[in-house]
Structure 1
Amino acid sequence: MTKATEVLPDTVSGLKQLLDAIERREVDIVLGSSSRRVLTALIESPQRTAVSSINELAQQLAVNASTLSRLAQRLGYGGFSKLQDVFRRELTEGKHFYSEQASRLVVNSSDPDTLNQLTRLGRQESANIASMIEQVDPTVFLHSVELLASARRVRIHGMRQFHSLALFIAYGLGMLRPDVSTLDTGRQGVADALAQLDEGDVLVVSSCFPYTPSVLATAEVAARHGIKVIALTDSASSPLAKSALHSFYVPNHSLFFSNSMCAFMLLAQGLLSAVASHLGEASVSALKHRETLISELNASL
């Protein structure tokens, strides 16, 4: 007599124990030989499983992407991204993320045509952009644009390479409306910066796996104090999405040795362009005023 699993494993070792139980028919989960092979391969290469897209894994394992989705559902995870989260946690906040990404470049370095890598990278980024656009909820996009245009204060926060994205958004939005900056622009620290915001102000945060713990904590604290959080992240299972009022999910799988930023930058440009349209003549006046100041300063040099 088999028994149902009560708690889904949240570690790779727990998954291995579940696989052993399935093979011994101790649980009410039935997997065919192909699914058992795939699950075994995922467990044996947790880093690869954590950082690869579902399509990349399917290609490496010689199965269809739908096979991975069905496997996750049969195990009780609902979707492959939930199963993949188990492997992502195994990397302990990305301890080996960058080296694992770089190792994929080394594996493919035997190709004598170096432009081949650029071509593949371009195709992957195009796929990321197309997937990102497909996932954008029109209502979420509209409400986010309205908040960015009308909130009394807007702050942007990102760390590491996402700091460059935060600077870009802060610069672009600051061209259109007042009281916009990166969260830590004064360098007094995040706590002091958050203390300057009131309930109803907006904080845009960005991070993806391996998530920066300080960014996650900042979003959680801001949301608890009534600050409206907009998250630019990688999936619905991202811890940032739990704190956000509105979230955008940006695929970022590529040959780059870190997280790809192309689709994130396009999303940022799309939001900024929509804010400019939403503000109408007010945005045009703001830009003309800036042009006047630039002209006056140039004349004085």
Structure 2
Amino acid sequence: MSDVEQTVEEEAPRDYDTLRALILERRQSLPKRIAQVAAYSLDNPDEIAFGTAASIAASAGVQPSTLIRFAQHLGFAGFTSLQSVFRERLRERNSSYEERLSGLRAEGSKGAGSRTILDGFLSASESSLATMARTLDQTVLDNAIAMLADAETIYILARRRSYPVASYIAYALGKLKVRSQIVESPSGLNPEVISFATVRDAALAISFSPYAPATIEEARLLSEQGVPMVAITDSAFSPLAQFADVWFEVAEADYGGFRSLSATMALSMALSVGVAEKRRSLSRRGKKGSPQ
């Protein structure tokens, strides 16, 4: 490796989270074809990890040389070096729960056992909340609340890790007397439930990488029906972002491979209470303006 290549490699991101943050930071200034590869790489990290340059380029709709330029644009000497970061991410993400527990046991053996594990999760939660406090756009929050408050029914989409968030939102909105519907039918009637949604309603979709295909498909259907949509996701390149009128990027920290939902739950609480308060405010104004 030449001195120039070694210098480039030293400046390149060494882990996926850092790489992802760099891509998002530069996404507005990336040339068109490189931006196309960037979007594909964050939507399909597994393909980047194990595909060949030819197969990845074909899937992304670019020339193989664009992959090299994409890698160099981010500080890597070549595409292979960038690919190794995606492979490392996959090894971390695809570890079984037993492997994750083994890692936590090893971590606990270094300190106070269960207290060490608790402290790790508390630290991850604090990190997630601090990031949201620093990055949340107040205008986006206000717009999301206004859109949801104006809806006759709020349709809530979520699967897998995101489902507890949807469940809480539905519970909170019910207690606050705001009509909502989780799109999750034991009898498999999700398409029929979605078919009832109109432009007078709104949707709230939640999904994080690796994105739940069912959530993405349902978001697409609702978007085609003209239903206004708010999304909670983790990337500007998330497939949910293309369907949402308003979307939040939430970066959750993890401990031992177990990712926190702290910031997402805090945001969900703010949306639920904010929607109820907005509706009450609009109702009071309506009563004041009604004829005597």
TM-score under structure 1 normalisation? Answer: 0.64
Determine if the alignment matches structure 1 residue 36 to structure 2 residue 13.
no
CA displacement, residues 265-295 of structure 1 (integer Å, 9 cap, x when unaligned): 11101112212322337899xxxxxxxxxxx
Q: CA deviation at 1:83?
A: 9.4
**Correspondence list, 1:19-168, <5 A:** 33-37=6-10, 39=12, 42=14, 49-50=15-16, 53-54=17-18, 85=42, 88-90=45-47, 97-99=93-95, 102=100, 105=104, 108=107, 110-114=109-113, 115-168=115-168
Long gaps (5+) in structure 2: 51-88, 285-292
CA apart distance, 1:194 = 0.7
Structure 2 vs 1, CA of residues 183 and 95 (structure 1 numbering), >3 Å: closer, same or farther? farther
Distance 1:108-1:214 versus aligned 2 partners, 3 A rule: same
Shift of 1:105: 3.8
Q: Give the structure 2 partner of residue 259 of structure 1.
A: 259
Query: CA separation of 1:109/1:38 partners in 2, compared to 1, >3 Å: closer, same or farther?
Result: farther
Given that residues 173 and 179 in structure 2 are in contact (C-alpha distance below 8 angstroms), is that contact kept between their aligned partners in structure 1? no
On the 8 A contact 1:155/1:170 being kept in 2, the answer is no
Superimposed CA distance per residue, residues 129-160 of structure 1 (whole angstroms, 9 cap, x where no aligned partner): 12123222222211211122221111111111
1:170 aligns with 2:143: no
CA–CA distance in 2 between the matches of 1:169 and 1:267?
10
Contact 1:174 1:181 in 2 (8 A): no
Residue-by-residue CA offset, 1:106-139 (whole Å, 9 max, x unaligned)? 6645523222232232122111112123222222
* Letter paired with 2:9: R
Sort the Cα spacing of 1:261 and 1:283 in 2 relative to 1 into closer, same or farther, 3 A: farther
Distance across 1 between alignment mates of 2:139 and 2:275 = 14
SS at match of 2:203: strand
Contact 2:231 2:244 in 1 (8 A): yes
Taking only the aligned residue pairs, the percentage that are identical comes to 23
Give the TM-score of the pair, scaled to structure 2: 0.66
2:4 and 2:216 map into 1 onto residues whose CA distance is 37
Give CA deviations for 1:163-214 in whole Å, capped at 9, x if unaligned: 1111110111122234312112574422111111112421111110111111
Give the Å deviation of 1:87.
Answer: 7.3
What residue number does 2:274 align with?
Answer: 274
Whole-angstrom distance in 2 between the partners of 1:178 and 1:69:
37
- TM-superposed deviation, 1:253: 2.1
Contact 1:104/1:255 (CA < 8 Å) preserved in 2?
no
Structure 1 partner of 2:58: none
Label 1:248 to 1:187 Cα distance change in 2 as closer, same or farther (>3 A).
farther
Q: Could you tell me which runs of 5 or more consecutive residues in structure 1 were left unpaired when the two chains were aligned.
A: 1-22, 25-29, 43-48, 58-64, 285-301
The answer to whether the Cα contact below 8 Å between 2:159 and 2:215 also exists between their aligned partners in 1 is yes
Whether contact under 8 Å (2:43, 2:239) holds in the other structure is: no
Deviation at 1:99, TM superposition (A): 1.3
Instruction: Provide the rounded CA distance (Å) in 2 between the counterparts of 1:84 and 1:124.
Output: 26
1:129 touches 1:251 (CA, 8 Å); kept in 2? no
Give the 3-state SS of the residue equivalent to 1:243 in structure 2.
coil
Cα gap change, 1:74/1:248 in structure 2, threshold over 3 Å: closer, same or farther?
Answer: closer
Asked if the contact 2:157–2:219 (Cα under 8 Å) also holds between the matched residues in 1, the reply is no
Change (3 A) 1:186 1:257: same
Q: Tell me if the contact between 2:127 and 2:253 (Cα under 8 Å) persists in the aligned partners.
A: no
* 1:283/1:158 CA distance change after superposition, 3 Å: farther
Q: State whether residues 204 and 229 of structure 1, in contact with CA within 8 Å, keep that contact through their aligned partners in structure 2.
A: yes
Size of the aligned set, in residue pairs, is 235
| Aligned mates of 2:10, 2:30 — CA distance in 1 | 14
CA distance in 2 between partners of 1:273 and 1:134 (Å): 21
Q: Which moved more, 1:102-111 or 1:197-206?
A: 102-111
Cα separation, partners in 2 of 1:230 and 1:130, compared to 1, 3 Å? same
Shifted more, 242-251 versus 113-122: the winner is 113-122
